[in-house]
Amino acid sequence: HEDSMDTDSEDEGGAAAAGGKNKMKKQGGGGGGDKQSLKDENDSLRCQLEAYKNEVEILKLDMQTDVDAKDKQLKVTQKTLENVQMNLMDARREQADAAFKSMQLNKQLNALKHKLSKESKGKDGGDGDAKDDADDASAEEVKTDTTILTEPSLELSALTSNVTELEAKLIGLISIFLHIHPFGASVEYIWSYVQKFVPAVKSSDLESLMRRFGGLFTQDLVGIGANIERRWKYGGIAVTEATSSGM
């Protein structure tokens, strides 16, 4: 009977030991699962952080691209403004030169008129037919040399009283443009320049104005057949050439 009791005790002790080992195994297995879960969560957070970093870099690149584009556009605008200012300064210089040449032509015109007046008076109070003939020849020669100068000026004098401030400005702009295009230009080409200063003007207005002042602006036909082109020229150039050759 005692032997059977000892056997039972040993069986119970072995069972208890086995149960403890199984419990420890279960506990060890549960700890490994928590560690793996933490590792997975850490990897997920790391991936999210990398994604945020990439997004920030993309935003930085986009912002830098926008800044570069705006900076480039600003430089182009500044360059365009500088070119416009330079063109305006050139136009003002040309306008001043045209005004100076016009003043010189007026002085020459007055001098010629005075000379003709003196010769006319001398002819009226002459000493004979020979003197009269000489005076007539001299006056005719001067008149021939200055016809291109006097006739436009007389026409301009007759029209000046009816010129408005806008028309005077347009005449000045057209004269400046044609002065730097001595071989003439079409009315559309002239309009493309003038409308920068007077946006409301039409090409037909410019053509009508130039026709009114036929002594200052002349129109020539250039080309052959279907390629014929009407070009306007500045008459002041012819006046200057005639004056220079006469003197």
**How high is the pLDDT of residue 156?**
47
**How high is the pLDDT of residue 247?**
44
- Tell me whether residue 132 is exposed, middle or buried, using C-beta atoms within 10 angstroms of its C-beta: 0 to 12, 13 to 18, 19 or more: middle
Measuring CA to CA, how many Å separate 207 from each of 59, 161, 172? 58, 20, 14
* Confidence class for position 232, pLDDT limits 50, 70, 90: very high
3-state secondary structure 79-143: HHHHHHHHHHHHHHHHHHHHHHHHHHHHHHHHHHHHHHHHHHHHHHCCCCHHHHHHHHHHHHHHH
Average pLDDT over residues 71-88: 73
pLDDT per residue over 135-158, tens digit each?
454 445 444 444 444 444 444 454
Average pLDDT over residues 156-177: 77
Average pLDDT over residues 90-117: 77
Helix axis angle for 187-194 and 165-179, nearest 10°, is 120
* Confidence class for position 88, pLDDT limits 50, 70, 90: low
Is pTM beyond 0.75? Reply is no
CA 201 from centre of chain: 19
Residue scoring higher pLDDT (110 or 15): 110
Measuring CA to CA, how many Å separate 145 from each of 13, 114, 187, 218? 148, 15, 31, 19
Q: Within 13 Å of residue 54, how many CA atoms lie on the same side as its CB?
A: 6
**How high is the pLDDT of residue 236?**
61
The amino acid present at 228, given as its one-letter code, is I
**How high is the pLDDT of residue 1?**
55
Where are the domains positioned within the chain?
Answer: 81-246
pLDDT per residue over 45-75, tens digit each?
999 999 989 999 999 888 888 888 888 877 8
Average pLDDT over residues 128-138: 49
* Confidence class for position 16, pLDDT limits 50, 70, 90: low
How many residues belong to the chain?
Answer: 247
